[in-house]
Amino acid sequence: MTSSATKAPIWTKSFISNFLINFFIFLTFYALLTALPIYVIEDLNRSNTEAGLVITAFMLSAILVRPVWGKLLERYGKKLCLIVGMIVFMLTTVVYVWVDQFTGLLVLRFIHGISFSLITTATGAIAADIIPKERRGEGLGYHAMSMNLAVVFGPFLALTLLQFTTFTVLFMIFSILAVAGVLFSFLIKIEHVKVPARKFTASDLFEKTVIPIALIGGLVAFSYSGIISFISLYAKSLGLAHTASYFFVVFAVVMLLSRPFVGRAFDRRGPAIVMIPSFIIFAAGMLMLSFTDSSWMLLASGALIGLGYGSLVPCFQTLAIQKAHPSRSGHATSTFFTFFDIGIAFGSYILGMLAANLGLSNLYLYASGLIIVTLVLFTAVTRKKQSNYVPKEHVS
């Protein structure tokens, strides 16, 4: 007997093009996240605080404008919005080559963040639309791999290039990737159903059915921000700086190996069977990290966090898409990522204050506790829904 999942492919030309665009965008994001603070301090001769502002400007603009993209995607079409976003992203990436003033860099980062939020909202919504419904959990898991791979290769590529070349060459390389992204955006085939023009309402900013799940996803992002922001400093404080570069490699390998199984289990048996263990594994990884005193413990915690957190994010995005009407997949995606971005932004700041007062090891200890609290909230919010869950591919 051949299942519908076998008949409906995920890796179509449109999916691959969308995947590559998302990978290039996040590769650029994480590479510049690593490289620009160095550029600001060493080439522009500014302070550490000002180096942080170039990151804040980007994230602030992305958060502020993301809620409006759902309406625009619905009105003008996801593909057109993606193409426009990619062109703006490409142009702003090219301009980095000529910007040598701090104020100009801040303005450029703000514009770059706007295009980034439009593109990532569009690619997420497009992925949800072109993936077969009965394989959505698996497909969105693969789509999320484009972001997770960029987390590893972006900083690695930036730091490696800077050992052998200049920032100008670095900016030119990412400009070429942006041009490739523009070209790939034209290869995507997706139907656009025209929606009649109507008065702008609050529902055009957020998809209210998604907000509970988005809030919980934001708490997960809040906890994970401690990894993004402080894992290198933590490893250095433990005398394990030489191992820190392998943390995300282990993270990515474990995540990639588990992703197909996680997605299929989600589609066939429902969210709870995947997400509850993932919460526990994520918390265990953070707990182990708080007690780490050797290289093997640092890498083992990376494996646990990669399995736990790496499984949760695509599951949350899938839940958000499933809760909304198919015509509002753009709104659902923008709502989810708005709360996710807020979680990362506030988490980096608040956990930074916690680390300053209590130390980095305690930061990860408290983060593990927050993950367990988030698990309790998740089960409370989704209990009724999960009890009635019937895998789509078994519905007659």
Question: What is the secondary structure of 157-198 as a DSSP string?
Answer: HHHHHHHHS-HHHHHHHHHHHHHHHHHHHTT-----------
Tell which wins on pLDDT, 290 or 8: 290
**pLDDT greater than 90 at residue 84:** yes
Q: Is residue 188 domain-shared with residue 252, that is, in the same domain?
A: no
Residue 214 CA: distances (Å) to CA of 1, 19, 64, 119:
38, 23, 16, 19
Tell me if 255 is assigned to some domain.
yes
- Judged by average pLDDT, the poorest of 170-174, 314-318, 325-329 is 325-329
Q: Is residue 396 part of a domain?
A: no
The answer to whether residues 139 and 238 belong to one domain is: no
Residue 4 in domain: no
Domain of residue 169: give its range.
Answer: 9-193
Q: Which long-range contacts (CB under 8 A, 24 or more apart) does 164-167 make?
A: 167/35, 167/39, 167/43
Same domain, 262 and 342: yes
Give me Rg for the CA atoms of the chain.
20
Q: Which percentage of the chain shows pLDDT scores above 70?
A: 91
**Count of structural domains, the chain:** 2
Contact 334, 65 (CB under 8 A): no
63/120 same-domain check = yes
pLDDT bucket at 394, cuts 50 / 70 / 90: very low
Assess if residue 310 is contained within a domain. Answer: yes
The verdict on residue 91 lying in a domain is yes
Q: Which of 1-5, 258-262, 270-274, 285-289 shows the lowest per-residue confidence on average (mean pLDDT)?
A: 1-5
Instruction: Examine the domain organization and report whether 127 and 253 are in the same domain.
Output: no
- In this structure, are 62 and 151 located in the same domain? yes
Under 8 Å between Cβ of 267 and 5? yes
Q: Let me know: does 240 contact 298? Beta carbons within 8 Å.
A: yes
Angle at 341 between CA 382 and CA 201, to 5 degrees: 75
Which one of 137, 169, 193 terminates a domain? 193
Q: Which letter does DSSP use for residue 96 in this model?
A: T
Rounded to the nearest 10°, the torsion over CA 144, 146, 152, 158 is -140
**pLDDT tens by residue, 201-230:** 655 667 788 889 999 999 999 999 888 777
Residue 5 scores a pLDDT above 50: no
Task: Specify whether 222 is located in the same domain as 362.
Answer: yes
For residue 395, being part of any structural domain is answered with no
Residues 292 and 262 in one domain: yes
The residue count for the chain: 396
- The CATH number of residue 138's host domain is 1.20.1250.20
Tokens of 288: 């182990």
Task: Summarize the confidence of residues 103-114 as an average pLDDT.
Answer: 94
One domain, residues 337 and 232: yes
The reply to whether 2 falls in a domain is: no
